[in-house]
Amino acid sequence: MSKLILIRHGQSIWNAANKFTGWVDVPLSKLGRLEATKAAYKLRDYRVDICFTSLLIRAIETAIICLTEFEEICAGKNPVLKHEADDPHWHGWDKYEGNSSCELPIIPSMALDERFYGDLQGLNKAQTAEKYGADVVQAWRRSFSMRPPGGESLEDTMQRTLPFFHSRILTQLKQGDNVLVAAHGNSLRSIIMQLDRLSPELIPNLELATGVPIIYDVDNTGQATNKIILN
The verdict on whether residue 141 carries a ligand-binding annotation is: yes
DSSP string computed for 80-122: EE---TT-TT--S----S--GGGEEEEEE-GGGSPPP-GGGTT
The verdict on whether residue 125 carries a ligand-binding annotation is: yes
Among residues 35, 61, 114, 152, the one annotated as catalytic is 114
The verdict on whether residue 5 carries a ligand-binding annotation is: no
Q: What angle do CA 9, 65, 229 make, to 5 degrees?
A: 50
Residues 51, 65: contact at Cβ < 8 Å? no
Residue 230: Cβ-neighbour burial (10 angstroms; 0-12, 13-18, 19+):
middle
The verdict on whether residue 89 carries a ligand-binding annotation is: no
> How many angstroms separate the CA atoms of 94 and 100, rounded?
13
> How many angstroms separate the CA atoms of 155 and 19, rounded?
22
The verdict on whether residue 164 carries a ligand-binding annotation is: no
Q: Within 13 Å and on the Cβ side, how many CA atoms surround 18?
A: 6
Side chain identity at residue 230, one-letter code: L
The verdict on whether residue 227 carries a ligand-binding annotation is: no
What residues have CB less than 8 Å from 59, skipping those under 6 apart? 9, 53, 112, 182, 183, 184
The verdict on whether residue 211 carries a ligand-binding annotation is: no
Say whether 9 is catalytic. Answer: yes
Quickly count: other Cβ atoms within 10 Å of residue 28's Cβ: 26
The verdict on whether residue 189 carries a ligand-binding annotation is: no
The verdict on whether residue 147 carries a ligand-binding annotation is: no
Among residues 9, 35, 83, 152, the one annotated as catalytic is 9
The verdict on whether residue 90 carries a ligand-binding annotation is: no
The verdict on whether residue 13 carries a ligand-binding annotation is: yes
The verdict on whether residue 210 carries a ligand-binding annotation is: no
Annotated catalytic residues are 9, 114
Q: Which residues are annotated as a binding site for substrate?
A: 8-15, 21-22, 58, 114-117, 125, 141-142, 185-186
Q: Which residues are annotated as a binding site?
A: 8-15, 21-22, 58, 114-117, 125, 141-142, 185-186
